Amino acid sequence: MSTLPRTLFSPEHDQFREVARRFCTERIAPFHAAWSRAQRVPRETWLEAGALGLLNAWLPEQYGGVGNGILFDIIVCEELGRTGATGPGFPLHSLIVTPYIEEYGTDGLKSRLLPKLASGEAIAAIGMTEPAAGSDLASIRTTAVPEGYGWRIDGQKTFITNGQNADVVVTACVTDPGKGAKGVSMFVLERGMEGFSRGRNLRKIGQHAQDTAELFFDNVHVPRENLLGELNCGFYMMMQKLAQERLMISVQCQARAEALFDQTIVYTSERKAFGKRVLDFQNTRFVLAGLKAELMAGRAFCDALIARHVDVGLSAVEAAAGKLWHSELLGRVADECLQLFGGYGYMEEYPAAQAFVDARIERIYAGTSEIMKEVIGRSLDGG
């Protein structure tokens, strides 16, 4: 889709985009339906992505990245969105989980884990949500209690993206039960730790290729080195990192909405009714014209958010406003485009159907639309 000219990217980024685009077209798109049936992206795909530098490109070279900011990883997120590939959880791995380890991990933990997170040898997940605590993260119940040279962790998490594949899970635990948000710390749990198990691969209405799991911790001993940052500062860390997580949602929603819009133009140009192309009905052109204007505005907003995040870092309110607006935009685009596909829009193998069901969760995870309004609302009187 043509938008206003984008000014964020250098020729080096454009070359990188070609690599990412080819990978998504040749190594992801043809297999995505099979992965949806298997409810999982194979590890080989992660390793291939890592070998091409598509994972954690932002990491310093010493850890296997390019070390030149997050724009390369943003490009990967956009290209996955362009392909409608919701299975590979690369953006969450690179832009949400790894930053915790890079910023708050000890040197030992970083040199052990970061190169594997760049190569795809290790897959990352983040465990905040629990069965009884999602929006209200301060009421999580998973506990970490000092034990020997480390900690003992008990509890469970649910709805964890990359949950089946994950080798490394950054996990929020209560370390000072009386203190609510001020008693939460972040730990790294690793595949193979005794007492760390996974439940079923959760069945969702969309994003079927994405492995979303329950995680269980039963007396898991975690070495001291796996505590991230300061004790009891986990809530602060999550709030700080959520801005980048919410930006990533803006980026993927905008990219997916643009791709679906393009597919709808193609479909309505080919489909005939009453002797003419569906695109030639005034209603179709008005609907698509309205969406195009919204997508142009969305692109400008998204690029402004990316630029500001790269320059100074987004505030909580800015990131929430972006997440709210772009996830709602994708919802509108998916609904209107599906309608223009007619009955075929309701058929699973058509992109409009897939985009429609895949889009719904964007308004819920990484903070619901209502929570985004709460965050923005608190700023209205200067708070």
Q: Which of 27, 32, 119, 16 is nearest to 75 (CA)?
A: 16
Strand partners, 161: 212
371 scored as a contact of ligand FAD (CB under 6 A): yes
Copy the structure tokens of residue 299.
């692109």
**Catalytic, out of 79, 214, 245, 362:** 245
Q: In this structure, what is the dihedral angle of CA atoms 43, 47, 52, 55, given to the nearest 10 degrees?
A: 70
Tell the smallest beta-carbon distance from residue 376 to ligand FAD (Å).
12
Three-class DSSP category at 371: helix
139 scored as a contact of ligand FAD (CB under 6 A): no
Concerning whether 230 is annotated as a catalytic residue, the answer is no
Tell the smallest beta-carbon distance from residue 30 to ligand FAD (Å).
24
Please, which residue, 201 or 315, has the CB nearer to ligand FAD? 201
36 scored as a contact of ligand FAD (CB under 6 A): no
Tell me how long the chain is: 383
231 scored as a contact of ligand FAD (CB under 6 A): no
- Per-residue x/- track, 154-173, ligand FAD (CB under 6 A): -----xxx------------
Question: Residues 2, 289, 374, 378: which binds ligand FAD (CB under 6 A)?
Answer: 374
Site of tokens 């790294």: 188
Question: Residues 2, 15, 25, 135: which binds ligand FAD (CB under 6 A)?
Answer: 135
- What does the alpha-carbon distance between residue 360 and residue 362 come to, in Å, rounded to a whole number? 6
- What does the alpha-carbon distance between residue 207 and residue 54 come to, in Å, rounded to a whole number? 21
Tell the smallest beta-carbon distance from residue 203 to ligand FAD (Å).
11
Cβ atoms of 54 and 20 within 8 Å: the answer is yes
127 scored as a contact of ligand FAD (CB under 6 A): yes
Tell the smallest beta-carbon distance from residue 212 to ligand FAD (Å).
5
**Residue 214 is inside which H or E element, if any?**
strand 212-223
Burial class from Cβ neighbours inside 10 Å (0-12, 13-18, 19+) for residue 15 reads exposed
Nearest residue to ligand FAD by CB is 134
Please, which residue, 86 or 268, has the CB nearer to ligand FAD? 86
Question: Residues 106, 143, 232, 368: which binds ligand FAD (CB under 6 A)?
Answer: 368
Site of tokens 């800015």: 318
Tell the smallest beta-carbon distance from residue 92 to ligand FAD (Å).
6
246 phi, psi to nearest 5 deg: -70, -35
Please, which residue, 130 or 336, has the CB nearer to ligand FAD? 130
Q: What is the DSSP letter of 118?
A: H
Tell the smallest beta-carbon distance from residue 94 to ligand FAD (Å).
14
- What does the alpha-carbon distance between residue 50 and residue 44 come to, in Å, rounded to a whole number? 10
Count of CB atoms within 10 A of residue 29's CB?
Answer: 14
Question: How many chain residues interact with ligand FAD (CB under 6 A)?
Answer: 21
Q: Which residues are catalytic?
A: 245
**Residue ranges in contact with ligand FAD by CB under 6 A:** 125-129, 134-135, 159-161, 204, 212, 361, 364-368, 370-371, 374
